[in-house]
Amino acid sequence: MSLVIAQLQSTLVWLAVTGALIYWYRSWRRSRTPGLLAMVKALAALNVALILGTDFGVANWLFGVPTLPNYLVHVLTLFAAYFLQLFVLHLAHPTAAVPAKVRVRTRILVIAELALGLLYLVGPVHSTGPAINGEAGNPALAVAYLAIFEIYLGIAMFDVVYVARHARELRRGYLRTGLRLLRWGGITGLVFVAHKVLYSLTLAVGFSPAWAHALNGVVAGLLTTVGILLLMAGVTVPAVGPRHQLRRHYRQLEPLWRDLTAFAPEVKFSGVPTGRTDITDRVRQRMTEINDVLVGPLQAYLDPAVYAAALADTRREAGREMPAAAVAQAVTIATALASAEPVNADESVAFTPADATDDRDEAAWFAAVATAYTTLTRTSQETSSDVLDTAH
């Protein structure tokens, strides 16, 4: 039963890492930034480590050296931790400040990998079992080997926890959630390191009953599974969440975009984004076309007096979920599209909120306006239908 659970845990972790690797590799192909590349390398190293750490039921399957797969798992895990540190550095610091911080961590990695390799060659490489633990080969050298591995892993997890402590200072959103998940993943990693250190020490002092080995396997497997899943969720949520939100905004913009471009079809781009076009590009194009109509052909029909009156009416209504300004803007657009004569007002209606800092903020606001517009036009159509039914 325990073997089945362990296999399920390994499969779950491998699937999570593989899914994250595919996603981040595709993201890197779209935008080849150093931070994305670091995450791809971290996930690739971790993915191979998980494969090498799988029990295939065949002894000495890698060049006839029993401990070689476990050694390579440790080497790749250190590389994965290093590249995770690089990713976190790019997340937490300006690009210009990252190279100096990377150099320090690179030196630490090189020292750790060289020490790990040297200790492996003089110690655990001579063990007859597949696992490198405190009893592998020369116990003193094996303990030193494991100490190098655990210290470096602890440093990397501390980096993650240290950066993620700022999560509570961020406004609610995907980045805040991702950093919190990263923090708990890092804490779980630190607990894993503490557990391995304690286990190595018990073996070093000669305390090695059968139940201790069994308990070590269960606890280490559980901590590894939970830690990796939390880390994968932490690095994926801030990337996947906003893209999911953009897809939702793209659908919400559809009715408003359709009516505005029907009013002024000349503003539509000749190349319609389809197929493999990134959702960010599709939303940006739709937003550009909406803005082009509002500041261009429809501008003369937009009445500031209608906006002011709609804003005042909306603010008086209690329990409305949508922002009053979004509803007022939707009313202004709907009125303008239905107008036969231009207003040619002296002042214009501002549609983009002043606190919008990027395309995502602007898309979120216009999605709210589009939602209000859809509700308004649907209500108007239903009222007209009811009047016609009554007349007949």
Lowest-confidence range among 48-62, 70-84, 378-392? 378-392
**Exposure string over 72-93, b if 16+ CB within 10 A, otherwise e:** ebbbbbbbbbbbbbbbbbbbbe
CB 234 within 8 A of CB 185: yes
**What is residue 273's DSSP assignment?**
-
> Rounded CA gap, 266 and 297, in Å?
10
Amino acid at 152: Y
Domain-by-domain residue ranges, the chain?
A: 2-235, 264-391
CATH architecture of 2-235: Up-down Bundle (1.20)
> Rounded CA gap, 330 and 54, in Å?
58
- Residue given tokens 């073996």 in the structure block: 203
The token pair at 34 is 């150093």
CB 236 within 8 A of CB 23: yes
How far apart, in Å, are the Cα atoms of 98 and each of 88, 90, 155, 158? Answer: 10, 6, 17, 18
- Residues of the chain with pLDDT > 90, as a percent, come to 16
Cβ contacts of 149 within 8 Å, gap of 6 or more: 74, 77, 78, 112, 116
pLDDT per residue as tens digits for the range 268-316? 876 554 545 678 888 889 989 998 998 888 888 888 888 888 888 887 7
Angle at 133 between CA 130 and CA 136, to 5 degrees: 70
> Rounded CA gap, 76 and 373, in Å?
54
Predicted TM-score (pTM) of the model is 0.70
Residue 189: pLDDT band by 50, 70, 90 thresholds? confident
